[in-house]
Amino acid sequence: MPGVGPRSAERIALWIVRARNDQPEQIARAITDTRQAIHPCALCGFFTTEEICEICADSSRSTELLCVVEQPTDTTNYLVDLLKNKPVLLTRIARGLPAGGGLESADELTLYQALSGRTKL
């Protein structure tokens, strides 16, 4: 598993073998259920239990904007180079969100400030 080193993997394996309750089975069941229920959104590729994710299904969402968030430096440089001669406006988020930081921990005001204060690339 990503982020689990050899020592942690060994401790987890020993815990699974030594556990005398049904916790390891519950964890295995939860992993199986998640893998069966969650799949990529047909439009954006984000995780969802439906055909289209909640974000793409939102009728108030602007279809004229694209927010690329996975690899801010490489993704951004690639898009800027690819689209530099096209009639599109490319911007970078402003303050409040660190490069490479996750959106899941950002509050609504921070997201608003980061998106409303974008700078042109």
How many Å apart are CA 74 and CA 63, to the nearest integer? Answer: 24
pLDDT digits (tens, 9 = 90+) for 105-121: 677 777 777 777 777 76
| Bridge partners (DSSP) listed for residue 31 | none
pTM: 0.48
Task: Name which residue leads in pLDDT, 104 or 43.
Answer: 43
Question: Residues 6 or more apart from 69 whose CB is under 8 A from it?
Answer: 103
Range of the domain at 95: 72-120
Q: Are residues 24 and 53 in the same domain?
A: yes
pLDDT at 117: 72
Q: Length of the chain, please? A: 121
Residue 64 lies in a domain: no
- Residue 67 in any domain: the answer is no
Q: Are 75 and 68 in contact (CB under 8 A)?
A: yes
Q: How confident is the model at residue 30 (pLDDT cuts 50, 70, 90)?
A: very high
Pull the structure tokens for residue 29: 């069941």
48 assigned to some structural domain: yes
Closest C-alpha among 37, 40, 39, 111 to residue 69: 111
DSSP-based three-state secondary structure for 41: coil
State the total domains in the chain: 2
Q: Average of pLDDT values for 41-53?
A: 90
37 part of a folded domain? yes
* Single-letter amino acid, residue 91: T
pLDDT tens digits, residue range 48-98? 999 999 988 999 988 777 776 665 566 777 777 888 888 888 776 666 666
- pLDDT attached to residue 99: 58
- Across the strands, what pairs with 119? 92
Q: Determine if residue 3 is left, alpha or beta; phi over 0 gives left, psi from -120 to 50 gives alpha, anything else beta.
A: left
